[in-house]
Structure 1
C-alpha cells in the first residue's frame, strides 16, 4: 500500500510538472512546406485590391502579390499586406497567460485581436516578437486576429539597415503561434556554462508572489541527471534569479564534439508544487579572444573555416523548412567547414538548433547592411536578437551590423542580456581585438598583416567573394597558406554559401539573381554543388594531405597534418584502394578495384605532423590509380585523395581494326589528303591545318588546328612525305611564337601528332587548339580529374577517374546545370568527344595536359575579373591555363597560383594520338 501511494504521488507530481510546461498552439504553418491559409489583401502591385487567401508563413511576392525589390533598387515598392484569421479560446487557458508570437514579419507589423491593438507596432523584419493578449481574448468562442504588415518601414533607419545587398520581401515569413503560460511563469532563461563545469543560469520569472523556490537539474539528452539539484529562493524585487552549480569534467561542446546537455528549471510554490517548468539545451564551453594571439575554445586554439549564409529558397524567399536547413548544414559540414556567419540577419531558430547539434560555430548578426538602425529601434532589436539566441552554444559572437552599419551606441547592449558576455564584432573593421577586414588581397594577408604589431585576431568575415565561378575555392589555397602563417590567425568566412536566385512569378518562373549582385554561391539556388565545393572540401580538410603525385619510387608513406583542434587522428579511420580503369572504347566508366587495405594506425595530436604508412602491397605499381579516404570520428568521409599510377604514354591505345592497306598521300592545289586505315585526313596547304576527317560513311568536322592558342602565327613551311611506310605531314609556323607540327599516319595505329612550340612572355594560357562545331557535340568521356572544370588557381578537389557528362550549356551562376560541360579539364589522359557525326578519342602522351571544351557565353553583363581570357578554339590541349579573379580583385592580386604563366622561350613539346 505504501509503495502504491508513493507511485501515485510520483505520477501526480510528474503530471503536475508536465501540465505546467509551456503550451504552444500554431496559428500558421511551420514552414514553406506546411502552411495555413489566412485571408489576405494586398494594397498595391500584382493581385492587389481584393481579399483572397495567402499561405502563412510565406513571402507574398512569391505567391504573385505586390512587387519584387532587390536592395539596390532605387525605387522601393511600399505595398501593405493585410491578414485575417480566427482562433478559438480554449477552456484550458482560463487563469493562464496567452502570448502571440511572431518569429519574423517584414517589416512594420501591427497586430489586432478582436479589434484591439495588441501592443506597439513592431519595426524590424528579422526578429521574434510577442504580445500578451490574455486580456484581449473572448472568454469563449472565436477570436479575430488582424495583422497589417508594411513592406517598407515608417522608420527610415529600419529601411536603410534592412534594404541591403539582398532581396527585399514582404509578409509574415516565419511561423505565428500562441504560447500559453501558467499564472506564475518563467519568461526566459540565460545560460552561462563554462568549459570547467561552472554553471550559471539567469531565470526571469513573472507574477511572483514571494516565497517561491526555483530549482534546476542538468540532464544529458537521454534524460540521465548529472550532478545534484540546485535551487534558490525567489526575492520579489529582483528582475531575475541566478542559479549556480559546479559540475566535474563535463563533456565539452565544440564543432568537433557537439556535446549538449539540458537544464530543467522549475518554479515552485511554498508547498513544492511545480508552477512552471522550462527545459533548455546548452553546452559547456568557453570562448576567448586572446589579443594578438588567436581564438580559443575550451583552452584550445580554433580556426574558423566558415561561410556566409543567407536564409533563402528560390520558390519561397526567406520562408524555409527543416529540410532546407538540413541541406545547408549538411553542405557546410561536408565541405569540412566548421563555422557559419548569419548574413545579414538572425536565421530561423531551427537552423541554430541544428548548428548546436551537429557542431558549427556561429556569428549571429544584427541587420545593418552599410547603414544602422537608430538607437531607439536598434536597442529593442538587440534585445530580441540576444534574448532569443543567447543559449545556443554554437553562437560565439554577436555582429553589430555589417560593413559600416554599426550603431556604436548599441555595442554595450548585448551584454545586458548575455551572461556569457560574448565579444561583439564590427564585421569589416578592427574592433574588440579582432580584425575582420573584408576582401583583403593576397599582399595584405601575406606581407602587410604579419608586420602589423597590432593586427588583431584576424578572421575576415567576408573573403574569397564567389561571384559566378571566381573566388570561393579559386585562390583559396594561397590565401589559406598565408593566413595559417599569421600568429593571430583565426580563419575566415567565404562569401557566400548559395546563389540567391529567385524564381520570379512575374517572369514565367525564370531565375533572377539581380544580374551579378546575387549569384555568389558555392552551391546553386537549389543547392546544386559547384566546383569550388570540392576545392574547399580538400583545402579545409582537418586531415591535411599535400601529396601531389606518386611515381615508381613512392614508398607508400604519405605526409599528413592533423588540423583538428581537439581530435587525435587515432580516433579517425583510413582506407585505401588500388584500381584499374576501363579503356576509352568501353561503355563502362566505373573503376575496377583490385585490392583494398588500411594504413598502419597513427596517433597524431591536434596541430602535429606525421607520416601515414599505407602499407601497400608490393605490386601496387601494376594498377592505374590509388585512392585514399579518411573518415572522421562519426564515420563520415572527410576527403578522398586520388593519384594516377599509370603514365599517360603507357595507356593502351585502341588499334585500328582494318585489313592491312598502304598509307597513301596525295595533293591538289589547295590541300593534302592522307588516306590511312580507310580514313581520309584533309589538310589546307595555305594554313597547314587539319580541315576535316572523312570516314567511309561520315565526315568528322574536326578542323582549324593545331593552332597555337592565343598567339598569332604564320605558316612558314608545309610538307608531307613517306617515311618507313608511314605518311608524315609537317608544318612550321613563326610570328609571335614558333610552332613545329608533325603528324604521323601509320597502318593499324592511331594518328600521332607531335608538336613543339617556343613562346615568350606572361600568358593566360598556352598550348594548341582545334575547332569542332559545338552544335554537333552530345557528350564527353575522359580519363583525368573530374567531373568539374578547373582554373589555374583552383586545381584542388577533383578526383582522378573516368568521367562522363552530356553536353550542356550550364553557366555558373546563371544556368544551373552541373557539372558544366564547358571549361578547362585537368590532367586528361584521354578524352572522347561524342557527337552527331562519329565519336573520336584523343590520347595524351604527357601527364599534366588540360583540355578546354568551348567557352561559356554569359548572358548577364559582368566583370572581366571573373571572365578570364580563354582560347578561341573549341577544343584545346594546353600545358597552361588561366586563373580567375573575384568580384573585387584581379587574378594577379590573389597569390602565386593566380599569376599568369611565365614562358621564357624554352621549347615545350607534346604528343597526342587521335582515334577516329
Structure 2
C-alpha cells in the first residue's frame, strides 16, 4: 500500500493498515567490524530517540492540533512526555481495564470496521533530532518497536507513513525528507483504529509510543533479512546449518560464514556470493551440542559481508541453537524426545510503566521462571520485545510466540458463544490486516531457537482467515508447529492447529479427549486460572503426564498480576485494578491472576507450582531416596544430593553426596543416617537437589527439587493417643461456679467461662490476658476470587450468618480433682439439625484442652470451614509454627508445602492479594505459638496424630469480606486465631464457576470432631 496524503479514513478502513512501511525482516544486529559484532557492542549504526518528546493530548480527532507536524508550528509551549511510555500513565486520560468486552461497549454503537469517533484519544508527539556523525552518510530509517494502536508519521512537514499493529515494529525510510541540522519528527497516535477490533486482549487499554524508538542506517552492502536454520540429522547428533540472506541491494557481495561454539572455537566455515540480492550458505557442523531448556547451548554464526575487493563492509553475529521440533506419531518431539510444557502465560507488565517493561524486568522474570521449574512461556497475546526472545534463547525457555490477534468481544458475550459478527471469521476483507500481523511476527522472530510454536492469536473464534494464517506459518517455517485454540469451538477449521489446545478444560474433560482415539497431542494453552488465592488442584493436571503420552502439558494463566500503582485519597500508594481510575466499562479485579504479584514478589501459589513442575522427582523413604530423572537430555551431574533429618521439626543430622542418574532414568540411593529407633518422636527426612555451580539464573547451592518422608518412632510399649502427664492437683487448683461465670484457677493461670456470653471469656497466664474476643464456632471464610466465581456467597451465605449469630443452648460443668470440663452447646437458625459444641477441659497444670464437635445437617450447601476462632490482643504478634509451610497452603494446594518450623510476624501471614480474601492458612499444623516481643503468649498443640489447619491474621473473615482493597481494612488491633478441623480447598480450574474438587469440599452433613491444647508460651531459656 502507498500514498502521499494521509487520511483519517484509514483508521476505519480495514484495507489500509500500512502506508510506506518497510517490509518485515529479521531482528539480527549488524556492525562495521567483527570485533564489535562478537562482543555485541552498542550499535554505532543505531541512534536512540528515547527520552523527552513534546506532547499534546486530545480526547478525539476533532480536538487535536491538526497542523502540529508542520515545520512552522511551534511546540515549545507543549508539555513533555517520556518515550517509551503509555499516554495514560503519564497524566493524560485514564487507563482502562477490560477483559473480553470491547472497551467502548455501551458507549459507542459501532460494529467492525467502524471505530468510535468521540471516544478515540489522540497523542501528538514531536521530537527534534540531528543525525549523529557516527551513523555516516548512508540512508536513515526510523524504527518504532511498538505503538498503540495506529500512528501517522511526518518529518520536516512531509508525510512519511502510517502503521497499525501495536506489537511489531513499524519502520520507515526518512532519507528523502532529512535536512542538515535539526529535523522535526512528528507522530500522531490514535488509540482506536480498525486494528483495535483485533486487539481485544485481557489487559489494560493504553495508547502511545510504548516501546523504544531509534534511527538506524545501513552500510553500502547490507543484509536486510537473515534466516538461520540449525537442524539435525535423523540421529539428532549431527548438525547442519543453513543461512539465507536477502540483501538491501543487488550489488555484488562476498559472504563468509563461520560457526563458533560457546568457547569461541571455529566448528565449520562456508563462503558464497550474493546473486541478484540473495545468498544461501550451508555447512555441516558435525556432532553438536543440542539446544534445549535443560541446556540452552548456543553457537555463534559469524557472517562477514565483503565487497568485491574483499573489504569487510558489514559484520553479523547471530546466535543459533541446534534443535529439531517436530510432530511424529502424534507426539510433539524436541530432538526426538516427548516434550512436556510446564508453562505459564505472560503479559509484558510493570505496575508503574504498564507494558513498557525494562531489561531488568525481563531478567527478573526469566530468573523467576527458571528458579521455579517453569520451562515454557506463551506470549499472551502478542509478540514481545526482541530482548525477551534473546533471553529465552540464552537462559533456556520454550516459547509459543503468539501473533497480535484477539477479537474476543466479537463472538463471546458474557461467556456465551455468539459469533454473528465475529471477525476475522471468513471475511476476505480482513485477511490482509490479519496476515500482515502474522508475517510481521514470523519474519522478525524466526531466528530464535526458543520459539517452538507459532500461535495464530487468541480467542478469535475460527474461520478461513485464521486457517490461512496457519497455512502461511507452515509454508514459511516448516521447522515449527502451529497452535490455535479456537478450533475447539468450530471443528470445521480443525486444521488451523497442529495440536489440540483448550482453555480451562477440567481434568476429566482432558481425560475424555485422551481416551477417545485422539488424532492430535493435547496441551492446555490456558489452565489453572491463578486469580487471587487459587491454583488448588494443580496436581490433577500434572498426574496426567505419566498416564497419557499425548498429554503434553499446559500454560498457567497467568504469570503476573496486572495491577497499577495508584494513590488513595490520603496519598498512600496501593496496587489498583479496573474501576479504580473511574474507568468504565471495566472488568474490575479480573486483572489479578498472577503467580507473582504486580511488583514481582512471588505469591504463595508459586510454592505449589515449583514443586509440581520439577523435572526430577525425589521420593524418600526411611533410609533411602528414589531419584526419578524426568529430564529429556540432562543427567544429574551438575546437581548435589543433600539430605536432612529432623525430629519434631528440628534438624538433628545433615549430609550430602554425589549422584549420577541419567535423563529419563531412576535410581534408588541409600543414605547413611543415624539410628533413631530408641528416640521416639516424629521425623522428617528432607531431600534436595542443589546446584553445584552457579548458573545464569541461580547461585550455587540453589534448590531445584525437593521431597520428604515423614514417619514416627514410637516409644517402647506406647499406645496411640497417649496423653502427657498432668501435674497433681494442688491446693491452688480450684473451680468457682457463680451465677453467670465459672472460674478455674491454678498456679500461674486462671480461666473464666461466661454462661451469658456462652464461651471462654478469659485465659490468663502469669497475669497476662490471652483472650480479646471469646472463641466461637466459625463456618465462613472470606470469599476468594474463585469462591465469588462459584457464587459461594449466594449459595452458601447461610454459613456467614451462622458464624455471626448462634444461640448457646446449654452450658455444663464437670469437675474432677485435677481438671474441670466446661461445655457449650450451640444451635443455628439456618437448620434445626445443625449443632456444634465446644468443650474446654482445664487441667491443673494450666493447659486447656479444647474439643469441638460439629454435628452437620443434610440439605445445606457445603460448609467452607469448620473451626474455632477467637481474637488475642495485637501485642501477640510473633508466631512460630511446626506445620506444613512455610508459605500458605490448603488441602488442595499442599504438595509443595513441607513439614517445617518457621517464624513469621502475624502481619506477614496474610497474602497481599489484589482484593482482600481468605489467605494465610497452613495445613498439617502440629503446634504454633503466638507471642509478644518478650516471648510470652499462647502455645497451641494439636492432638497426637491429628494435625489441624490454622490461620493467624490481623483481620477476621468478616473484615476481609467487606474490603475491596487493602487500604479499606481496619488498623491492626487484634491477632485473629482460627483453628480448623478442615477448610475447603481454594480450587483453580477456573474463576467463573469451577467448583473445588469434591474431595476437597466439606459436606454439610458430615460429622467432624477435632481438638487442640492451649498452654502458656514462655521465652526461650
Instruction: Note the residue ranges of structure 1 that are not aligned, 5 or more in a row.
Output: 1-11, 30-35, 548-553, 582-590, 863-872
User: Which residue matches 2:738?
Assistant: 668
Q: Which residue in the other structure is 1:348 paired with?
A: 385
SS in 2 for 1:326: helix
Q: Which residue of 1 aligns with 2:941?
A: 843
1:398-446 deviations in Å (ceiling 9; x for gaps): 1111012563232233356536354343467454331111110222023
What is the correspondence of 1:380-395 to structure 2 with a 5 Å cutoff?
A: 380-395=436-451
The aligned length equals: 855
Equivalent position to 1:502, from 564, 578, 590: 564
Q: How does 1:719-798 map to 2 (within 5 A)?
A: 719-730=812-823, 736=833, 742-754=839-851, 759=856, 763-764=862-863, 767-772=866-871, 778-798=877-897
1:731 Cα deviation after fit = 5.2
Deviation at 1:369, TM superposition (A): 1.7
Compared CA separation, residues 516 and 821, structure 1 to 2 (3 A)? closer
TM-score, structure 2 as length reference: 0.76
Question: Would you say 1:280 and 2:350 are equivalent positions?
Answer: no
Pair 715,697 (structure 1): closer, same or farther in 2 beyond 3 Å: closer
Counterpart in 2 of 1:132?
Answer: 173
Contact 2:485 2:525 in 1 (8 A): no
User: Aligned partners of 1:475, 1:576: CA distance in 2, in Å?
Assistant: 28
1:675-732 CA distances to partner (integer Å, 9 max, x unpaired)? 1224331223367531222456454335544647578797676433442333343456
Equivalent runs, 1:87-166 vs 2, <5 Å:
87-91=129-133, 93-118=135-160, 120-138=161-179, 140-153=180-193, 156=194, 158-166=195-203
Give yes or no for contact 1:255–1:338 (8 Å, CA) kept in 2.
yes
3-state SS in 2 of match to 1:256: coil
SS at match of 1:247: strand
The equivalent position to 1:513 in structure 2, one of 574, 577, 586, is 577
Label 1:807 to 1:738 Cα distance change in 2 as closer, same or farther (>3 A).
Answer: same
Counterpart of 1:480 in structure 2 is 542
Q: How does 1:250-269 map to 2 (within 5 A)?
A: 250-269=288-307
1:425 and 2:484 aligned? yes
Question: Offset of 1:558 from its aligned partner?
Answer: 3.0
SS at match of 1:248: strand
Deviation of 1:902 (Å) = 8.7
Name the SS for the 2:960 alignment partner.
coil
Q: 1:86 aligns with which of 128, 131, 154?
A: 128
Corresponding residue to 1:617 among 674, 679, 696: 674
Task: Give the Cα–Cα distance (whole angstroms) in 2 for the partners of residues 109 and 617 of structure 1.
Answer: 72
Unaligned runs of 5+ in 2: 1-31, 66-76, 108-115, 234-238, 409-422, 425-429, 489-493, 579-587, 715-719, 781-798, 966-974
User: For residue 550 of structure 1, what is the aligned residue in structure 2?
Assistant: none
Q: Which residue of 2 aligns with 1:588?
A: none
CA shift digits 1:847-906 (9 cap, x unpaired): 4211134427256779xxxxxxxxxx953322322022348467875646544459765x
Q: Is 2:705 aligned against 1:639?
A: yes
Compared CA separation, residues 351 and 624, structure 1 to 2 (3 A): same
Q: Secondary structure at the match of 1:401?
A: coil
Q: Distance in 1 between matches of 2:256 and 2:358?
A: 35
- Find out whether 1:627 has 2:686 as its counterpart: yes
Deviation at 1:276, TM superposition (A): 2.1
Structure 1 CA distance for aligned equivalents of residues 894 and 992 of structure 2? 18
Pick closer, same or farther for the CA change 1:233–1:534 going to 2, 3 Å: same
Q: How many Å apart are 1:195 and its aligned residue?
A: 3.1
Call closer, same or farther: CA 1:892–1:511 in 2, change over 3 Å: closer
**CA deviations over 1:164-185 (Å, ceiling 9, x no partner):** 2211111111111122211221
Aligned residue number for residue 61 of structure 1: 88
Note the 1:442-591 alignment, pairs <5 A.
442-446=507-511, 448-454=512-518, 456-470=520-534, 473-504=535-566, 510-514=574-578, 515-545=588-618, 555-579=622-646
CA distance in 1, matches of 2:380, 2:34: 43
Which deviates the most, 708-717 or 359-368? 708-717
Do 1:663 and 1:727's aligned partners in 2 also have CA atoms closer than 8 Å? no
Secondary structure of 2:176's match?
A: helix
Structure 1 residue 255 displacement after superposition:
0.4
C-alpha distance in 1, partners of 2:507/2:976? Answer: 33
Corresponding residue of 1:376? 432
2:656 equivalent among 585, 598, 614? 598
- Verify: 1:914 aligned to 2:1015, yes or no: yes
What corresponds to 2:6 in structure 1?
none
Residue 701 (structure 1) aligned to one of 762, 771, 789? 771
Q: Do the aligned residues in 2 keep the contact of 1:95 with 1:182 (CA within 8 Å)?
A: no
CA 1:685 to 1:829, structure 2 compared with 1: closer, same or farther past 3 Å? same
Q: Are 1:192 and 1:419, in contact at CA under 8 Å, matched by a contact in 2?
A: no
Please state how far the C-alpha of 1:746 moved relative to its aligned partner: 3.3
Q: Is 1:884 matched up with 2:986?
A: yes
Deviation at 1:453, TM superposition (A): 1.4
Q: Distance in 2 between matches of 1:482 and 1:896?
A: 19
Aligned match of 1:219: 260
Deviation at 1:618, TM superposition (A): 1.8
3-state SS, counterpart of residue 543 of structure 2:
helix
Instruction: Tell me the SS of whatever aligns to 2:471.
Output: coil
**Aligned match of 1:586:** none
1:26 aligned to 2:47?
yes
Deviation at 1:666, TM superposition (A): 0.8
Counterpart in the other structure of 2:503: 438
Instruction: Give the Cα separation in 1 of the matches to 2:178 and 2:677.
Output: 78
Tell me the CA shift for residue 56 of structure 1.
1.4
1:561 Cα deviation after fit? 2.4
Quote how far apart the aligned CAs of 1:391 are.
0.5
TM-score (norm 1): 0.85
Counterpart CA distance in 1 for 2:200 and 2:403 is 13
Change (3 A) 1:881 1:782: same
Deviation at 1:539, TM superposition (A): 0.8
Instruction: State yes or no: 1:44 paired with 2:59.
Output: yes
Find the aligned partners of 2:285 and 2:35 in 1 and give their Cα distance.
Answer: 29
Are the counterparts in 1 of residues 531 and 594 from structure 2 also a CA contact under 8 Å?
yes
On the 8 A contact 1:48/1:65 being kept in 2, the answer is no
Distance 2:742 2:635 in 1: 67
Distance 1:653 1:270, change over 3 A: farther
Q: Which secondary structure state, in structure 2, belongs to the residue aligned with residue 460 of structure 1? A: strand
Does the CA-based 8 Å contact 1:291-1:457 persist in structure 2?
A: no
Shift in alpha-carbon separation, 1:897–1:214, aligned structure 2, 3 A: farther
Distance across 2 between alignment mates of 1:773 and 1:748: 22
Structure 2 counterpart of 1:70: 97
3-state SS of 2:888 partner:
coil
Question: In 1, distance between residues paired with 2:820 and 2:307?
Answer: 103
Q: What's the CA shift for 1:357? A: 0.6
When structure 1 is superposed on structure 2, of 673-682 and 642-651 the one drifting more is: 642-651
Flag the 1:858–1:79 CA change in 2: closer, same or farther, 3 A.
farther
> Residues 846 and 1015 of structure 2 are in contact (CA less than 8 Å); yes or no, is this contact kept in structure 1?
no
Q: Is the 8 A contact 1:402 1:428 kept in 2?
A: no
Distance in structure 2 (CA, Å) of the matches to 1:16 and 1:56? 27
1:807–1:821: 8 Å Cα contact kept in structure 2?
Answer: no
Q: Which residue of 2 aligns with 1:6?
A: none
Report the Cα distance in structure 1 between the residues aligned to 2:986 and 2:574, rounded to whole angstroms.
28
